[in-house]
Structure 1
Amino acid sequence: MDADPTLVPLEAGQRKNADLPVRLASAVVMLAMAGLAFWAGGLVLDLFVAAVAFGVFVEYVLLCSKIAESPIKLGPMVIAGAVYIGWAGLALAVMPEPLMLVVLGIVIFTDTGAYFTGRSLGGPKIAPRISPSKTWSGLLGGMAAAGIWAGVCLLGANYLESSLGPTGPSVAAAFRATDLTVAVISGAVLAVFAQGGDFYESWLKRRAGVKDSSRLIPGHGGLFDRLDGLLPVAIIAGIAWAATQVGG
C-alpha cells in the first residue's frame, strides 16, 4: 500500500516542533532566574551577571579551542574574548538597572522583530555562508522593533520625570521632552550591532564545525547562543552611559 502523502508534512512538522515544550520550559526557567536576580538587585544581580559572563567566556574558549591550530594561536583569541565578554559583563554590572532593562529589551526586540519579519517577508540573505537564516528584511524588522522599544522607553522615562514636577504627570510634557527621532535611530543602530554580535558567534561556530556553543540550555544551546547579540550592545550602552557621567 502506498503511503498517504499528506502524512509526510505532518510528520515533518511534528519532528520540527518536538522540542517545543523543552524550549518553552527552558525559557521559563531562564526568565525566572534572571527575574529573581534583577528583583534582588545589588550584589546578587552583580554576581548573576558575573556568573553568566563567565559561562559565556568558557563556551567562547571551547569554540576557539576547536578553531585554533596551536596553543600559540589560541592565546590571542582567548585574550580577545576575555576583553570582549568581560567588558560587556562589566558594563551590565555597573550601569543602572533601568538602563539594563532597556539594553535587554533592545536585544530581545531585535531578535523578535527580525524573526517574524524574516519569516513573513523572506528575501535575500545577508551572509548565507555564515548564518543562512538571516535576511535583509529581518534585519530591517529588527531595527524597527528596537527603535520603537527605545522610543517608548525614553518617552516613558520622561513621563515619569514629569510626574515629579509641580503640574504632575503629563503625556504632553513627556512628548515635548522626548526626541523620538534620536531615540528611534539609536535603537535601530544598536539593533545592527546586536545582529553583528549574532553573526560573529555564527562565524565562530562555522569555523569550529558545531551547531551550538554548548548544550547547557535544553532546546536553546548555550549561553553564548542566547547572549551573542547582547555583548556588543552592552558595551556600546556602557560607553554611552559612562560618557554622560563624565560629562555631568
Structure 2
Amino acid sequence: MTGSSRWADLWPRFISALVMLAIAAIAILSGGIVFNAVIALICGGIFWELAAMYWPGQGMRAVKLGTIAGLAFFASTFLPVLLAVAVLLLPIVILAIEDRMKFAKPLSLFGIWIMLAGVGFVWLRNALNVDWLLWLVCVVVATDVAGYFAGKIIGGRKFWPRVSPKKTWSGTSAGWVAAALVGAVFTGPLDHGIFLIVLSVLISMASQAGDVAESALKRQRGVKDSSALIPGHGGLFDRFDGMLGASALFLGLFALANL
C-alpha cells in the first residue's frame, strides 16, 4: 500500500468530522428538546441503515421503520418511565412483525442496543451532568482517533481479521491509552480519581466492542458500509457504533451501581 493511498480517506474524514463536531456542540450546549431531537434523528437513521442491510432493495420499508423508530424515541423523552419503555419497544416489535421472524432475533437485539444507547445519551445530558457526557464523547473520540493513527502508522498484527480486517492490536491498545489520558484530564471536573481512569478504559473497550459488533454485522450482510451518508465515514451506524457501545455500557453500569 502506497503512502498516498494509505491516507486517501483522511481529508473527507476530517471535513465530515468537523461538521459532525459542530452539530454535536450545538446539540450538547442546547440540551433539552434540541438534544433529544438530534439523538432521535441518529437512532432513526441507524434503524433505517440496519433495516436496509437486512432488507436490500426494499428502501421504503427501511425508511418507514427508521421514521417510526426516530419518532418513537423522540416521543419517549416526554413520557413517564414505564410508558417510555413501551414506546421505545414499539419499533422493535414492528421490526419483528415486519420481518415475519426471518431475521427477528438479530434485528431485535441490535434495535434494543440502539434504543438503550440513545436513552443513555439523553439521560447523561439532561439528567446527570453535561460534563459526564463530554467525558464519554471525548473517550470515544480519543479511542477512535488514536486507534486510526496508530493503526495506520504502526500497523502490525491484526486484532480480529475475520471480523474487522483493518483493526490492529497497536490501534486497539493506543485507544486504551488515549482513553486513560482523557480520564486523567476529567478527574478534576468530575471529582473522581483513579476510578475514572479505569472507567475510561472500560468505556473505550465498550466503544471498540460496538465497532467490532457492527463490523461483524456488515461482514455477515456482505456490505462495506452501513450507508453512504457521511463522506469518509460511511453511515451513521459506522460513525456511531462506538458511541452506542460506550453509552449502553455506562447506562448499564450506572443502573447496577444504583440497584
TM-score calculated relative to the size of structure 2: 0.74
Q: Secondary structure at the match of 1:219?
A: coil
Alpha-carbon deviation of 1:15? Answer: 9.5
Asked if structure 1 preserves the Cα contact closer than 8 Å seen for 2:208 and 2:245, the reply is no
Runs (4+) off by over 4 Å: none
Distance 1:20 1:157 in 2: 33
Q: 1:74 aligned to 103, 125, 128, which one?
A: 103
Equivalence map 1:21-36=2 (5 Å): 21-36=11-26
Asked if structure 1 preserves the Cα contact closer than 8 Å seen for 2:161 and 2:167, the reply is yes
Matched, 1:109 2:100: no
Equivalence map 1:47-196=2 (5 Å): 47-65=37-55, 71-95=100-124, 96=128, 97-158=130-191, 178-180=192-194, 182-196=195-209
Match of 1:223 in 2: 236
Q: Secondary structure at the match of 1:199?
A: helix
Deviation by residue 1:99-146 (Cα, 9 ceiling, x = unmatched): 111111111111122222223332211111211121112211111110
Distance 1:145 1:214 in 2: 28
Match of 2:245 in 1: 232
Match of 1:4 in 2: none
**Using a 3 Å threshold, how does the CA distance of structure 1 residues 15 and 128 change in structure 2: closer, same or farther?**
closer
Asked if structure 2 preserves the Cα contact closer than 8 Å seen for 1:195 and 1:229, the reply is yes
Q: Which amino acid aligns with 2:178?
A: A
**Using a 3 Å threshold, how does the CA distance of structure 1 residues 153 and 15 change in structure 2: closer, same or farther?**
closer
Match of 1:241 in 2: 254
Q: Which amino acid aligns with 1:179?
A: G
Q: 1:37 aligned to 22, 27, 38, which one?
A: 27
TM-score calculated relative to the size of structure 1: 0.77
Distance 1:118 1:41 in 2: 35
**Using a 3 Å threshold, how does the CA distance of structure 1 residues 65 and 36 change in structure 2: closer, same or farther?**
same
Matched, 1:202 2:225: no
Distance 1:61 1:14 in 2: 32
Higher RCO (C-alpha under 8 Å, 6+ residues apart): 1
Asked if structure 1 preserves the Cα contact closer than 8 Å seen for 2:210 and 2:245, the reply is yes
Deviation by residue 1:3-47 (Cα, 9 ceiling, x = unmatched): xxxxx96xx827963x65443332222111111111211111111
Match of 1:13 in 2: 4
Alpha-carbon deviation of 1:58? Answer: 1.5
Match of 2:94 in 1: none
Which consecutive unaligned segments of at least 5 residues does structure 1 have? 1-7, 159-177
Distance 2:166 2:172 in 1: 11
**How large is the RMSD of aligned CA atoms in angstroms?**
2.3
Q: Which amino acid aligns with 2:13?
A: R
Deviation by residue 1:156-178 (Cα, 9 ceiling, x = unmatched): 333xxxxxxxxxxxxxxxxxxx4
Which consecutive unaligned segments of at least 5 residues does structure 2 have? 57-98
Asked if structure 2 preserves the Cα contact closer than 8 Å seen for 1:64 and 1:204, the reply is no
Match of 2:92 in 1: none
Distance 1:105 1:14 in 2: 28
Q: Which amino acid aligns with 1:75?
A: A
Match of 1:175 in 2: none
Larger Rg belongs to: 1
